[in-house]
């Protein structure tokens, strides 16, 4: 992230914070960051799920699905990894 982009993000965060707006909900300055962290955690869960035993059974990654998360911060869509045998059940997002 460039210094200018970081400065713009910091200004947006401060403006939303000072006005009492939700930083994580729809349009929130930190919503993209939260989405990114959740998606990275789901990818790590998929990596752990697809161990050697799963791979020898022919299971592998098979694209991504969509889920809408509803939280006290608001709703937002995330991309969830999927496997061929549909046996991946993430612990983070049920």
Asked, for residue 90, whether it belongs to a domain, the answer is no
Could you give the number of structural domains in the chain?
1
Q: What gap in Å lies between CA 11 and CA 4, rounded to an integer? A: 11
Instruction: Examine residue 7 and state whether it is found in any structural domain, yes or no.
Output: yes
| 92 assigned to some structural domain | no
**Has residue 69 been placed in a domain?**
yes
Strands (E), 1-94: 61-71, 74-83
pLDDT tens, the chain, 94 aa long = 788 888 888 899 999 999 988 888 778 888 888 889 999 999 999 999 999 999 999 999 999 999 998 877 778 889 999 999 999 999 998 7
Residue 89 lies in a domain: no
The reported pTM is 0.81
Say if 91 falls within a structural domain: no
Answer whether residue 42 is part of any domain. yes
Domain that holds residue 39: 1-83
Write down the pLDDT at residue 7: 87
Per-residue model confidence (pLDDT) at position 2: 85
What is the distance between the alpha carbons of residues 48 and 31, in angstroms, rounded to a whole number? 26
């Amino acid at each position: 992230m460039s210094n200018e982009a970081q400065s713009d993000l910091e200004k947006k965060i401060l403006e939303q914070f000072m006005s009492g707006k939700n930083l994580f909900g729809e349009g929130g300055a930190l919503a993209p960051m939260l989405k990114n962290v959740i998606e990275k955690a789901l990818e790590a869960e998929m990596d752990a799920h697809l161990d050697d035993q799963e791979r020898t059974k022919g299971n592998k990654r098979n694209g991504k699905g969509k889920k809408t998360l509803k939280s006290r911060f608001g709703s937002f869509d995330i991309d969830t990894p999927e496997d061929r045998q549909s046996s991946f059940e993430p612990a983070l997002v049920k």
